[in-house]
Amino acid sequence: MTPNALPRRLTSTIIIALAFGAPAWAKTPVASGTGGAVATISEPASQAALAILDRGGNAVDAAVAAAATLGVTDPFSCGVGGGGFMVIYLAKENRVITLDHREVAPAAFRSNAFAPDGKAIDFDTAVASGMAVGVPGTVRGWHDALERYGTMSFKQVLAPAIKVAQDGFKLNDNFVALVTENEKKFALFPETAARYMRDGKALPAGTLLRNPDLANTYRLLSSGGVKAFYSGKLAQAIIDSVNRPPVAAGISVRPGQMALADLANYEARWRQPVRSTYRGYELVGMPLPSSGGVAIAEALNILEGFDLKSMPREKAEHLYMEAARLAFADRNAYLADPEYVDAPVAGLVSKEYAARRRELIDPTQARHHAQPGDPYLFQQDPSVPLRPAAAAKARLLSESAHTTHLAVSDKDGNIVAYTFTIESWGGSGITVPGYGFILNNEMTDFDFSGPHPNVPEAGKRPRSSMSPTIAFRNGKPAFTIGSPGGATIVTTVLQTIFNHIDLGMDMPSALNAPRISERNGQATSIEPGFAGSVQAKALERFGQRWDASAEEIGAANAIVFNPDGTVTAVSEGKRHGVGSALVQKRGH
């Protein structure tokens, strides 16, 4: 996969009636009202979350219910075979906590795993392998979130997803196109091919797809809890699939080296969020090993020094792109798992460092490539000898664009912004036989060779771009935003915030505006129809240039907390078959 490749985000949009009295109104990407709210890219997932809210569950309960249902309807972007990041706002305590349940490298993983002879192996070869699979964290994350901050059990919150998996849902054109894109990879693994293909080709649109194996996996979790995943028969099945991938006859893929102890010892991490301010808002995001919270804070700090509202739109957008370029230069150079790397986070998010970086921007001309700065000068304690011998070389690396994001709030004001993934579309391609879920290929999020902070190491979490974010104003929640899209997640969240705050767009307009993803590459990623537009031509006068390929970027979801006490859930209005926004009590 090339660095700027952004495969389409595809999802089922079939409405499935659930038990629990879920509302039956038509699917819509925007909904306003009172009580709880949910925004996802999948109607069944949004319905599942709302059903849990209507039964008295809180935002954490509903988020897990939505996530489990997405594991059924969006099996190629997320599921129990992967991991994620959850940002939780606790209204009564008026505080935010983040839950890192990112996959980790097995204990036997080595730094040269993807470059055994000093030369990096082919990316696609690395993806479709047991070696690419990290120790899954999703189930541990769900358990820890429910145990500490939820009110319901696995049995209660998994019930909607079990029903969807058991009863099935009809495949639409987008789902079929996704399988078609992955026919070569899926054909390597008979368990995956049998579920999603016939005679080597994708199942046709309109097919009712059931996944009784996944329903049984969820039932196993309902009765046995988190231990049922990380030990016992299911754990052994995962280990067998990683170390001896179940491939088609005559096929060979690289095996992994995962042990039962890797699963038994997996731990999620409760971490303090990254905090920054921007034009009267406080932004709270995901800390390392996500690069999103830090990169977004740095870019916004750079932009804060410009009077963007007084400028023509094209000049403001040029500055947005240049700020993103600088932030990505630093992100690529310094950020990685905080348990392995002393990243200069305090320096990167400081206003003083942003002022220094801002001086490098030409308001009239694009740079095209930025070098990383020296944030160590701006650490809170400059006496700490953290500076490396030489700054790591900045680079733009492949990072898969296949993830999902959901947002949930409840009647008490609690909020969950949750992004989780199995990495590439269809992850490693390996379905665990008899259990109905695909294993991740998260290890390919490491840099294949070094020196670099993000090289593979045993027990390490690969750097991510997932950026679930909650914004506050005057101490109260203002909005939450997040998206899938690999490294473009950072720019999707950043641009949506920029559109909303600086360009004055309401959230639906901010979210649906054409996306421009500048990640310090040779050209800027754009969406179909943007090249040749008036907006594009205006930016070209600043020297901005576009990637030759154009594909949809991200699939964002947001919730806005209005001053009058109502909430507005916002999902995609045109991308990916249109998203699903629901509220408990609709406004008139």
Give, as one character, the DSSP assignment of residue 200.
T
Name residue 407's beta-bridge partners: 39, 417
Better pLDDT: 392 or 165: 165
Q: Which candidate, 167, 161, 169, 129, places its Cα nearest to that of 142? A: 161
403 annotated active-site: yes
pLDDT in tens, 60-70: 999 999 999 99
Residues 6+ apart with CB under 8 A from 363: 306, 315, 318, 319
Give, as one character, the DSSP assignment of residue 231.
S
Say which of 138, 403, 492, 524 is annotated catalytic: 403
Residue whose structure tokens are 């391609």 = 429
Say whether pLDDT at 333 is over 50. Answer: yes
What pLDDT score was predicted for residue 22? Answer: 33
Are the beta carbons of 513 and 501 closer than 8 angstroms?
no
Residue 353 CA to residue 330 CA, distance in Å, equals: 11
Q: Which of 42-56, 162-176, 195-209 has the lowest mean pLDDT?
A: 162-176
Residue 310 CA to residue 304 CA, distance in Å, equals: 13
Residue 39 CA to residue 459 CA, distance in Å, equals: 33
451: preceding bond cis by omega (within 30 degrees) = yes
Say whether pLDDT at 289 is over 60. Answer: yes
What pLDDT score was predicted for residue 124? Answer: 93
pLDDT in tens, 500-525: 999 999 999 999 999 999 999 989 99
The arithmetic mean of pLDDT across residues 38-52, rounded, is 96
The arithmetic mean of pLDDT across residues 170-187, rounded, is 89
Record the pTM: 0.93
| Burial environment of residue 165 by CB neighbours within 10 A (0 to 12, 13 to 18, 19 or more) | buried
pLDDT in tens, 68-92: 999 999 999 999 999 999 999 999 9
Say whether pLDDT at 391 is over 60. Answer: no
Residue 74 CA to residue 179 CA, distance in Å, equals: 11
The arithmetic mean of pLDDT across residues 103-112, rounded, is 96
SS3 state of residue 458: coil
Say whether pLDDT at 393 is over 90. Answer: no
Residue 295 CA to residue 281 CA, distance in Å, equals: 17
Residue 55 CA to residue 68 CA, distance in Å, equals: 17
319 phi and psi, to 5 degrees? -70, -35
The arithmetic mean of pLDDT across residues 218-241, rounded, is 98
Are the beta carbons of 554 and 525 closer than 8 angstroms?
no
Residues 6+ apart with CB under 8 A from 486: 6, 399, 400, 401, 402, 403, 465
The arithmetic mean of pLDDT across residues 193-220, rounded, is 96
Q: What token pair was written down for 540?
A: 């070209």
Say whether pLDDT at 370 is over 90. Answer: yes
Q: What percent of the chain has pLDDT over 70?
A: 91
Q: What percent of the chain has pLDDT over 90?
A: 85
The arithmetic mean of pLDDT across residues 124-137, rounded, is 96
Report the chain's mean pLDDT, rounded to a whole number.
91
Say whether pLDDT at 198 is over 60. Answer: yes
Q: Which residues of 501-513 are buried (b: 16+ CB within 10 A; e: fewer)?
A: bbbebebbebbbb
What pLDDT score was predicted for residue 258? Answer: 98
Torsion of CA 153, 157, 163, 164, to 10 degrees: -150
Residue 177 CA to residue 19 CA, distance in Å, equals: 30
Residue whose structure tokens are 């720019």 = 491
Cα end-to-end distance, the chain, whole Å: 47
CB atoms within 10 A of CB 538: 16
Q: Which candidate, 398, 311, 321, 301, places its Cα nearest to that of 367? A: 321
Torsion of CA 492, 496, 498, 499, to 10 degrees: 130
pLDDT in tens, 402-451: 689 999 999 999 999 999 999 988 999 999 999 999 999 999 999 998 88
The arithmetic mean of pLDDT across residues 202-206, rounded, is 94
pLDDT in tens, 440-487: 999 999 999 888 999 999 999 999 999 999 999 999 999 999 999 889
What pLDDT score was predicted for residue 388? Answer: 52
